[in-house]
Structure 1
Amino acid sequence: MSQPFRLHHLLAVLLAASATTAEAQDETLKNWFNDPFIQVRNSVPDCPQPLGPLVSADEARRESHWRTERGTSCWLAGQCSKPNSYLYDAPIATSVAAHFAAVPEFARASSLWLTFQRRFVWVEGCSADPAIDAAALEAFVRAEPDVERVIVNLRRPGEIKAPYALAPPR
């Protein structure tokens, strides 16, 4: 093998490695928009953590226009007093977290995480108690002022796969 060919081959390998590293860095998942994401129950030890508001930089760029549009449409339609529906999320999260802390309901045999985005609340996690159902959780969270919609995704005993996207392993 000639020297120029090996140098060319080495250069190609180095370029490929740097491109792979750049892609891996770009795929780092992060809560780019600071959406509230909290765990309110932790009784099921093998419950996988939901992905929540984590997205890649590319996904964040793609979502930014959509989020601006969706956030302001609530105010433009006269359905919100704040100019952007995402401005409700932190106060709703604080209120819902306090409600969970004050009321022992759902504490037995459940691990639950909540994601808040534009007045929507995702309740995700595991329930080992058949008495805990999606409708009860939805009603519990929906009782908070300014909550527009509640989406409940629970993994039940015996189910192997979680019905929600998972956070990457740490």
Structure 2
Amino acid sequence: MARHARPWFAVALALAAGFASAEERANYFNDPFLQLTSGIASCPVPEGPLITETQRREQAHGRIERGTSCFQAGRCRLPNAYLYDKEIIPRVKKAVDFAANFADTSVWAEGQRRWVWLKGCVRSQEQSDALERLVRSIDDVENVINQLTIVPTP
């Protein structure tokens, strides 16, 4: 009888491991994630700043250290670089809206410690480059990570 229980035990262990790895993900650090444009219906919504509780614990110390080192080095006027993000991302949206030449894109912006991740879809490399330059020019933006995908006009 014990020989017949082994396969079921292995299945139960595999299921338990699957449930453990399916840990709930959330935006634990409240990093801003905002849709800037919505002109390409086929563009998949990129994943925002979702992490597991385990990842949150692993990242907490590094985020504190990176956030305050900016202020300590005299590169930030606020005591933590992450404090800028809630101001920067709405300014990115405003700049993109004002530029008015990105209506045929679907772009999201995510902010962490004065860095802006551009995610989503644009129609050309030129449009991607222009969007990156625009965001780099915004006050308090330290870096731009361009993760845009080119989806040519059909």
Deviation at 1:22, TM superposition (A): 3.0
Separation (CA, whole Å) in 2 of partners of 1:146 and 1:38 = 18
Residue 120 of structure 2: SS of its match in structure 1? Answer: strand
TM-score by length of 1: 0.77
Separation (CA, whole Å) in 2 of partners of 1:156 and 1:96 = 20
Matched, 1:152 2:146: yes
Q: Which one of 22, 29, 33 corresponds to residue 20 of structure 2?
A: 22
**2:111 corresponds to:** 116
How many residue pairs align between the two structures?
152
Separation (CA, whole Å) in 2 of partners of 1:143 and 1:35 = 21
Q: Could you tell me which amino acid in structure 2 is paired with residue 115 of structure 1?
A: E
Matched, 1:142 2:140: no
**1:56 corresponds to:** 52
Deviation at 1:67, TM superposition (A): 0.6
Runs (4+) of structure 1 exceeding 4 A deviation are 4-16
Alignment gaps of 5+ in structure 2 = none
Percent of pairs with identical residues: 41
- Could you tell which deviates more after superposition, 110-119 or 93-102? 93-102
Separation (CA, whole Å) in 2 of partners of 1:60 and 1:140 = 31
Q: Could you tell me which amino acid in structure 1 is paired with residue 46 of structure 2?
A: P
Deviation at 1:125, TM superposition (A): 1.3
Calculate the aligned-residue CA RMSD, in Å. Answer: 2.3
Which string of whole-angstrom CA distances, capped at 9 and with x for unpartnered residues, describes residues 122-166 of structure 1? 1111112454132x11221122211111121221237xxxxxxxx
**2:89 corresponds to:** 93
Deviation at 1:101, TM superposition (A): 2.6
